[in-house]
Amino acid sequence: MALGTDAPAGAAALNYDTTGDGITFRTPPLKRDLEITGTVAARSCGSPPRRPTRISSWCCGYSTPSENEVVFIGSNDPRVPVGLGWLRASHRKLDPRRSLPYRPWHAHDEEWPLTPGEPVELDVEIWPTSIVVPSGYRIALTVRGSDYEYDGTDAGLANAPYPMKGVGPFTHADPDDRPAGTFACRNTLHFGADKAPYLLLPVISQS
């Protein structure tokens, strides 16, 4: 459950419920301040148990030495993580002319259904950010099948036109678009020498 710089030593798999809190990976406590400025990208290798399509939701954040999550005031929500990204796995096709290592560009011109139990690579663009993570804190990446929520509660701002739980109005909960019979299941993340997921961060040198 760690974020590190070493490649996976062997094959492994982790499961998570698509309607739950997902899986969170964390770095060890940082030994120095770390500035992250720019576009963030992430790749996973996942498979569904039986369903043809799903959404992968990613959030990138950091926590204090006591493991408390740090959130920020965003433009559309008062409690947002460092970055957010989404991908409907059946729309994982990339445009090779526009894609960059740090910014995958999805074509959205055809649907690629999933085969139950067959791992596929999922490249997710996470919104650009600019932050300095202090020494002693941890960077975290969460993989979910549902929208990020800070603590499950609504911030409850007066006259707010939508609930504010962490993603503002950018939710993926429409029952017509995400019927429970299709999306409520248990997904698998795969790890190995030929299935190496990663988080690509734009680190600014302090030298």
| Domain of residue 62, CATH code | 2.60.120.260
The count of structural domains within the chain is 1
Residues with Cβ within 8 Å of residue 61, at least 6 apart in sequence: 69, 70, 71, 81, 82, 83, 139, 140, 142
Q: What is the DSSP letter of 66?
A: T
11 inside domain: no
Is 6 among the domain residues?
Answer: no
Q: In the chain, pLDDT over 90 holds for what percent of residues? A: 53
**Tokens standing for residue 186:** 């248990």
In a domain, 64, yes or no: yes
CA–CA distance, 20 with 102 (Å, rounded to integer): 28
Q: What kind and span of H or E run contains 31?
A: none
Containing domain of residue 198, as a range? 22-204
Q: What is the pTM (predicted TM-score) of this model?
A: 0.89
Q: Judge whether 132 lies within some domain.
A: yes
Residue 1 lies in a domain: no
Question: Tens of pLDDT along 15-24?
Answer: 998 888 899 9
Determine if residue 150 is left, alpha or beta; phi over 0 gives left, psi from -120 to 50 gives alpha, anything else beta.
alpha
Does the residue 8 lie in any domain?
A: no
Residues of the chain with pLDDT under 50: none
β-sheet bridge partners, residue 188: 15, 47
Is 128 among the domain residues?
Answer: yes
**pLDDT confidence of residue 51:** 60
Q: Is the residue at 4 inside a domain?
A: no
